[in-house]
Amino acid sequence: MNMENPYDYKKFAVLYVDDEKMALKAFTLAFGDSFRIFTADNAQDGLKIIRERGGEIGILLTDQKMPGEKGVWLLEQARQLRPRTLRILVTAYTDFEAAIEAVNSGAIYKYVSKPWDPAQLELSLRQGLEFFMVQMERDQLLREKMSVLRNMLIADRIVSLGLLAAGLSHHIRNSMVAVKTFLELAPVKMAEEKNHNETLRDPDFWKEYHQNVQSQIEKINNLLADLRTAADNKSGGPFADEIKPEPALAKILAGLQPAFASRRIEVQNQIAGNLPSLRVDLPKFERLFELLLKDELAMLPAGSRITLTAEEISDGHRPEIAIHLADNGPALPKDALRVVLDPFTGGAPSEYGINLMACFFIAHHHGGSIDASNLIEGGNIFTIRLPLRPESVVTNSEDTQFLKKAMLNEKLWDKLITAN
């Protein structure tokens, strides 16, 4: 690559598909020095190469008339699998209708007449690869910018939740002092009054009432503490704990087993022991699944069943573990589902929603995600996806949808724009 032309034309390959073996040989001889060349002599083999090595291919050229599937079919399949790959149809003048069909279906970048002119085709290939590489560079730049904005939005949300939780806990504790003082004085005061309802003068009534109030306040404080846990990123080292999914979940389940047994809820841990290790922030990881399982305890009727499964996912984006928690209980409230699927929506989430909001931010802290849905056959399923190595996480493919949701929150967006 010289200074006059900044493009490396061998960075991405050109795939040429033609049933004429002499044409494939001539193509390789003509352009092999300038480009990386892949060839196939039928559409099915060409599709196989795209499936196996599509990330390396910048341009696909294909003849139209071939035994079996035609060129237009291959172009359409390639468009669905690798929409960014430039697609060129090679066709004779007598098959002009095929070129028109390909253009109208949006399946091609351009068409080339057969027999092709080497000089003209080389120019087309160079221009096509340049266009492809510019698109790739643009997409990478957009991903980086969106990743920065995504992290800004999430960081702001986490900090806001942490401050909210801390502030509310402070006020609740202060309010409890006043409530406790009132409840301690009220029976005495009531006892001094004559002709008052006997129930109100009953110390046992006030004792039970006091305990109920304390129980509710304790529950609120616990929920807020979970949000603080999700917002607190002061761990000594990021993701310093390496765990195997099966024993890590088995340990959490063992701690909750007495509670499940008392409710006659069966828990099936079907996670395989040979899954790869995860690097996690262990206290947060454990809290995430404790919250989910405790919500299950609160929601499921006696005799229900919970099933844990997991799988490794490597879709070319990043290696992940997907952990599925499914139950056969009643459907989770829509408010709670909304909080998990879109934590930027307004409204007042239910108790389940507050717990799941904490789970969302713990999962995001690890560069992962959590999803929840109602099963068609009854019950619910939670899917937690966590990268094997969070420190190397890159932006996921759902950033566009994520930002659409986030930008609907006008107050948060205004805050980011006007921040100093």
Residue 375 confidence (pLDDT) above 50:
yes
Q: How confident is the model at residue 386 (pLDDT cuts 50, 70, 90)?
A: very high
Which pLDDT belongs to residue 198?
Answer: 52
Q: How many angstroms separate the CA atoms of 179 and 218, rounded?
A: 13
Instruction: Convert the pLDDT of each residue in 76-98 to its tens digit.
Output: 888 888 888 999 888 776 566 66
Provide the residue type at 383 as one letter.
Answer: T
Instruction: Convert the pLDDT of each residue in 123-145 to its tens digit.
Output: 989 998 998 888 888 877 766 66
Q: How confident is the model at residue 46 (pLDDT cuts 50, 70, 90)?
A: very high
DSSP secondary structure code for residue 196 in this structure: -
Q: Which CATH number is associated with domain 13-116?
A: 3.40.50.2300
Which pLDDT belongs to residue 403?
Answer: 47
Q: How confident is the model at residue 366 (pLDDT cuts 50, 70, 90)?
A: confident
- Please give the residue that has the higher pLDDT: either 302 or 227: 302
Q: Report the pLDDT averaged over residues 248-269.
A: 94
Which pLDDT belongs to residue 225?
Answer: 61
What percentage of residues in the chain have a pLDDT greater than 90? Answer: 27
**Regarding beta strands 86-91 and 36-40, do their DSSP bridges make them parallel or antiparallel, or are they unpaired?**
unpaired
pTM assigned to the model: 0.48
Residue 23 confidence (pLDDT) above 60:
yes
167: Cβ contacts below 8 Å, ≥ 6 apart = none
Q: How many angstroms separate the CA atoms of 229 and 226, rounded?
A: 5
Q: Report the pLDDT averaged over residues 3-30.
A: 87
Which pLDDT belongs to residue 205?
Answer: 60
| Least confident interval from 104-108, 266-270, 407-411 | 407-411
Residue 161 confidence (pLDDT) above 80:
no
Q: Which CATH number is associated with domain 236-420?
A: 3.30.565.10
Which pLDDT belongs to residue 70?
Answer: 86
Decide: 108 and 89 in contact? Cβ < 8 Å.
yes
Q: Report the pLDDT averaged over residues 349-377.
A: 75
Q: How confident is the model at residue 100 (pLDDT cuts 50, 70, 90)?
A: low
Which pLDDT belongs to residue 312?
Answer: 92
Which pLDDT belongs to residue 415?
Answer: 43
Which pLDDT belongs to residue 274?
Answer: 93
Residue 343 confidence (pLDDT) above 80:
no
DSSP assignment of 56-124: GEEEEEEES--SSS-HHHHHHHHHHH-TTSEEEEEE-GGGHHHHHHHHHTT--SEEEESSPPHHHHHHH
Instruction: Convert the pLDDT of each residue in 194-246 to its tens digit.
Output: 445 554 455 666 566 666 666 666 666 665 565 555 555 444 456 788 999 99
Residue 390 confidence (pLDDT) above 70:
yes
Which pLDDT belongs to residue 413?
Answer: 42
Q: Report the pLDDT averaged over residues 99-110.
A: 65
- Please give the residue that has the higher pLDDT: either 337 or 73: 73
Instruction: Show the tokens assigned to 248.
Output: 């890590």
Q: Report the pLDDT averaged over residues 239-254.
A: 92
Q: How confident is the model at residue 104 (pLDDT cuts 50, 70, 90)?
A: low
Q: How confident is the model at residue 395 (pLDDT cuts 50, 70, 90)?
A: very low
Q: How confident is the model at residue 396 (pLDDT cuts 50, 70, 90)?
A: very low
Q: How confident is the model at residue 45 (pLDDT cuts 50, 70, 90)?
A: very high
Cross-strand pairs, 60:
15, 87
Q: How many angstroms separate the CA atoms of 381 and 328, rounded?
A: 9
Helix axes 282-299, 351-365, angle to 10 degrees: 160
Decide: 41 and 18 in contact? Cβ < 8 Å.
yes
Q: How confident is the model at residue 398 (pLDDT cuts 50, 70, 90)?
A: very low
Place of tokens 């560069």: 367
- Please give the residue that has the higher pLDDT: either 402 or 82: 82
Q: How many angstroms separate the CA atoms of 351 and 349, rounded?
A: 7
Domain spans of the chain?
A: 13-116, 147-232, 236-420
